[in-house]
């Protein structure tokens, strides 16, 4: 089958010789992929920052498709069902899943206890191939995959697998109260969605910080918020203090993660020298911008080795730090409801549709932020077959 | 820079406040607590997937998870490094640093494997230079010219030095 194939940092290609996936467990299903997105967190893999990313891996944890085969114990899905597949691989029966922490399942990843299972996210997240392919193996098919309701547009459906619930959970973990000032660091797809969702919790003011003008312009219009280029602010923390009457934001959201720009020291030690688990500039700023007693919500990806952040300020300011991978299955019913109510419009963030055969160009386009790229969807040639 | 304060009339924002919850501070009950945590790993596990290839597992867990990915099992020198790494816990740099090294070694192995399989890797294409040519042509040409000039200068310096 045709599949994306990782060859090393900044190198991927579309290969036709990848063997088709097979049922390897009675709870598996095989899904023919109809749409697959490139996520901002795929770029961390693409840039070689995630340990145990093996050459030959197929990325892709945001995908929809059609069920073509099911394992012996699968009861809820049948061949021909159109499904959206949450990025978390989750068993549904371990104590974590039973408590709706589907991003932290204990039965989906042998390689690391600190990470749940995820599709196409290296052996650090279970060693599963992802959905940037014509076909994909989906374990625990009775748990995660959700049949796409007939009134949901396929482009919206694919964004419900990660970016929408992740943005929503970022706002949810912020514990936003009516009237709160919420600062979102990062105007990528998740940051855009977090800014949009902050209003649903009653935010009084939403501010987005980034340095890419086209993304700032997009988020201003899409999420009806303020958006600032940190390069024009001098010290962004000082700016945020001044603009909140020298009090600090009520809630700060880190939607950037380990490849943040804005600090030479963080970039050098985190991204270039790999002396820490990525550049923690956004988290550093979030901690320093939030008010005393405020909440910092983190949904972005960092490496497992640790980061330089001002933990002393977390203590001295009494900050609540909340973080997790999105629990997609928990949030899906509400996200579908919000979509139907018109509160969110996920497909509006899609800027590029690229045939899977051109996956190398698609990755470079997204990574280098060319052609005002915000969200790229890959379409396999067999999608409509 | 002028500071813009928003229009306090939130009716312009569809859905404003629909999920506002006065109890959502500071720790909204994200976790639906069931008490199962105290049973630790004493639960009815899903059936175990049979490992038909080598699957490395963290020494912070007693064995494999019930399911796992089977593509790209450890092999070659990078595989040796990965096996070494998994002797150490996730708490140790001796786990993560060999894995990062293994990833780099694996890149070289990937190129060798390509040749072994009769594939000549088109590295420029793999790096997405098609998109760069289409959307960032000026910068690409500039980079190419600078690289060429620096290489020529270096070459001429080395030749001079040899004489």
DSSP letters, B97-151, are HHHHHHHHHHHHHHHHHHHHTT----HHHHTTHHHHHHH-HHHHHHHHHHHHHHH
Contact state of A25 with B47 under an 8 Å Cβ cutoff: yes
pLDDT in tens, B18-48: 998 777 655 445 677 888 888 888 899 999 9
**pLDDT confidence of B1, banded at 50, 70, 90?**
very low
B26 prior amide bond cis, ω within 30: yes
CA distance B83 to chain A (A): 11
Contact state of B25 with A305 under an 8 Å Cβ cutoff: no
Distance CA A114, CA A104 (A): 8
Q: What is the mean pLDDT of residues A34-47?
A: 97
Q: What is the mean pLDDT of residues A215-232?
A: 97
Structure confidence at residue B40 (pLDDT): 85
Q: Is B105 in the A-facing interface, judged by CB distances under 8 Å?
A: no
Can you identify the CATH homologous superfamily of domain A163-323?
NAD(P)-binding Rossmann-like Domain (3.40.50.720)
Contact state of A338 with B43 under an 8 Å Cβ cutoff: no
pLDDT in tens, A102-137: 999 999 999 999 999 999 999 999 999 999 999 999
Q: Are residues A133 and A1 in contact, defined by beta-carbon separation less than 8 angstroms?
A: yes
Q: What is the mean pLDDT of residues A77-82?
A: 98
* R_g of chain B, CA atoms, integer Å: 28
Structure confidence at residue A205 (pLDDT): 96
Asked whether residue A312 carries a pLDDT value surpassing 90, the answer given is yes
Q: Are residues A259 and A303 in contact, defined by beta-carbon separation less than 8 angstroms?
A: no
Three-state SS at A65 = strand
Contact state of B57 with A110 under an 8 Å Cβ cutoff: yes
ipTM for this prediction = 0.92
Lowest mean pLDDT of A133-137, A214-218, A303-307, B132-136, name the range. Answer: A303-307
User: What is the b/e burial string over A52-67, where b = at least 16 CB atoms within 10 angstroms of the residue's CB?
Assistant: bbbbbbbbbbbbbbbb
Structure confidence at residue B21 (pLDDT): 79
CA distance A256 to chain B (A): 22
Q: What is the mean pLDDT of residues A148-163?
A: 97
Residue ranges of domains in chain A: 3-162+327-379, 163-323
Residue that is written with structure tokens 């708490």 in the block: B91
Asked whether residue A163 carries a pLDDT value surpassing 90, the answer given is yes
pLDDT in tens, A170-192: 999 999 999 999 999 999 999 99
* Residue of A380, A385, A352, A382 whose CA lies nearest to A4: A380
Contact state of A200 with B18 under an 8 Å Cβ cutoff: yes
Q: Within 10 A of A263 (CB to CB), how many other CB atoms are there?
A: 17
Q: What is the mean pLDDT of residues A277-288?
A: 96
Lowest mean pLDDT of A26-30, A63-67, B17-21, B95-99, name the range. Answer: B17-21
Q: Is B101 in the A-facing interface, judged by CB distances under 8 Å?
A: no
Q: What is the mean pLDDT of residues B112-137?
A: 96
Task: Write down how long chain A is.
Answer: 385
The fraction of chain B above a pLDDT of 70, given in percent, is: 88
Residue A133 DSSP code:
B
Structure confidence at residue B37 (pLDDT): 84
**pLDDT confidence of B163, banded at 50, 70, 90?**
low
Chain B, 7-66: which have a CB under 8 Å from a chain A CB?
8, 10, 12-22, 24-28, 30-34, 36-37, 39-41, 43-47, 49-50, 55-58, 60-61, 63-66
Domains A3-162+327-379 and A163-323 share a fold: no
Average pLDDT of chain A is: 96
CA distance A282 to chain B (A): 21
Asked whether residue A324 carries a pLDDT value surpassing 50, the answer given is yes
**pLDDT confidence of B7, banded at 50, 70, 90?**
low
* Residue of A61, A63, A76, A88 whose CA lies nearest to A27: A76
Distance CA A364, CA B131 (A): 7
Residue A375 to residues A73, A156, A223, A370, B64: CA-CA distances in angstroms?
Answer: 36, 12, 16, 11, 35
Distance CA A40, CA A189 (A): 8
Asked whether residue B138 carries a pLDDT value surpassing 90, the answer given is yes
Three-state SS at A183 = strand
Q: Which of A273 and A313 is assigned the larger pLDDT?
A: A313
Structure confidence at residue B24 (pLDDT): 62
Contact state of A99 with B5 under an 8 Å Cβ cutoff: no
Topology of domain A3-162+327-379, per CATH? Quinone Oxidoreductase; Chain A, domain 1 (3.90.180)
Structure confidence at residue B38 (pLDDT): 84
Q: Within 10 A of A275 (CB to CB), how many other CB atoms are there?
A: 11
Q: What is the mean pLDDT of residues A247-269?
A: 95
Distance CA A260, CA A266 (A): 8
Distance CA A307, CA A65 (A): 37
DSSP strand pairing (A205-210 vs A181-185)? parallel
Pick among B31, B34, B68 to test the A interface (most A CBs inside 10 A): B68
* Residue of B8, B9, B13 whose CA lies nearest to A343: B13
Q: Are residues A185 and A61 in contact, defined by beta-carbon separation less than 8 angstroms?
A: no
Asked whether residue B96 carries a pLDDT value surpassing 60, the answer given is yes
Pick among B69, B89, B93, B108 to test the A interface (most A CBs inside 10 A): B69
Contact state of B61 with A110 under an 8 Å Cβ cutoff: yes
Asked whether residue A370 carries a pLDDT value surpassing 60, the answer given is yes
* Residue of A303, A384, A332, A277 whose CA lies nearest to A90: A332
Q: What is the mean pLDDT of residues A160-174?
A: 97
User: What is the b/e burial string over A203-219, where b = at least 16 CB atoms within 10 angstroms of the residue's CB?
Assistant: bbbbbbbbbbeebbebb
- B46 chain-A contacts, CB cut-off 8 A: 27, 91, 93, 107, 140
- A273 chain-B contacts, CB cut-off 8 A: none
Q: What is the mean pLDDT of residues A203-228?
A: 97
The fraction of chain B above a pLDDT of 90, given in percent, is: 72
- B22 chain-A contacts, CB cut-off 8 A: 177
**pLDDT confidence of B2, banded at 50, 70, 90?**
very low
Q: What is the mean pLDDT of residues A260-287?
A: 93
Lowest mean pLDDT of A203-217, A240-254, B33-47, name the range. Answer: B33-47
């Amino acid at each position: 089958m045709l599949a994306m194939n990782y060859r090393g940092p900044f190198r991927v290609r579309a290969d036709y010789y990848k063997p088709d996936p097979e049922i390897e467990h009675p709870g598996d299903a095989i899904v023919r992929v109809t749409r697959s997105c490139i996520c901002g967190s795929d770029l961390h893999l693409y840039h070689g920052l995630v340990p145990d990313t093996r050459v030959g891996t197929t990325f892709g944890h945001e995908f929809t498709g059609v069920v073509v085969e099911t394992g012996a114990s699968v009861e809820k899905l049948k061949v021909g069902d159109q499904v959206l597949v949450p990025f978390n691989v989750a068993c549904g029966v371990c104590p974590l899943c039973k408590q709706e922490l589907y991003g932290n399942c204990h039965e989906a990843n042998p390689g690391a206890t600190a990470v749940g299972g995820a599709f196409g996210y290296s052996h650090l997240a279970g060693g599963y191939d992802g959905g940037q392919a014509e076909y994909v193996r989906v374990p625990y098919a009775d748990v995660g995959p959700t049949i796409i309701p007939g009134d949901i547009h396929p482009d919206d459906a694919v964004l419900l697998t990660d970016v929408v619930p992740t943005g929503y959970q970022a706002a949810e973990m912020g514990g936003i109260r009516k009237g709160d000032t919420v600062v979102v660091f990062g105007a990528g797809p998740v940051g855009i969605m977090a800014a949009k969702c902050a209003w649903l919790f009653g935010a009084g003011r939403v501010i987005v910080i980034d340095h890419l003008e086209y993304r700032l312009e997009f988020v201003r219009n899409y999420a009806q918020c303020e958006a600032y280029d940190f390069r024009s602010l001098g010290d962004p923390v000082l700016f945020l203090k001044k603009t909140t009457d020298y009090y600090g934001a009520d809630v700060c959201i880190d939607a950037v993660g380990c490849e943040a720009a804005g600090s030479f020291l963080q970039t050098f030690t985190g991204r270039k020298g790999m002396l820490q688990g990525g550049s923690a500039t956004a988290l550093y700023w979030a901690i320093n911008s939030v008010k005393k007693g405020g909440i910092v919500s983190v949904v972005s990806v960092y490496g497992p080795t640790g980061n330089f952040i001002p933990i002393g300020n977390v203590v001295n300011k009494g900050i609540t730090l909340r973080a997790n991978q999105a629990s997609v299955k928990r949030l899906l019913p509400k996200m579908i409801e919000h979509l139907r109510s018109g509160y969110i419009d996920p497909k509006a963030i899609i800027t590029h549709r690229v045939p899977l055969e051109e996956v190398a160009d698609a990755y470079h386009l997204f990574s280098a932020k060319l052609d005002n790229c915000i969200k790229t969807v890959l379409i396999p040639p067999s999608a409509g077959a | 820079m002028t500071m813009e304060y928003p229009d306090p009339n939130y009716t312009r924002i569809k859905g404003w406040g629909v999920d506002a919850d006065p109890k959502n501070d500071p720790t909204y009950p994200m976790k639906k607590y069931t008490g199962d945590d105290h049973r630790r790993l004493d639960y009815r596990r899903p059936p175990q997937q049979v490992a038909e290839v080598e699957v490395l597992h963290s020494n912070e867990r007693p064995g494999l998870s019930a399911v796992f990915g089977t593509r790209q099992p450890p092999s070659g020198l990078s595989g040796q490094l990965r096996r070494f790494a998994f002797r150490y816990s996730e708490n140790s740099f001796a786990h993560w640093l060999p894995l990062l090294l293994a990833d780099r070694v694996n890149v070289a192995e990937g190129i060798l494997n390509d040749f072994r399989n009769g594939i000549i890797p088109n590295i420029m294409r793999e790096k997405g230079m098609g998109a760069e040519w289409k959307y960032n042509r000026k910068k690409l040409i500039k980079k190419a010219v600078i690289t060429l000039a620096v290489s020529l200068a270096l070459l001429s310096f080395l030749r001079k030095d040899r004489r």
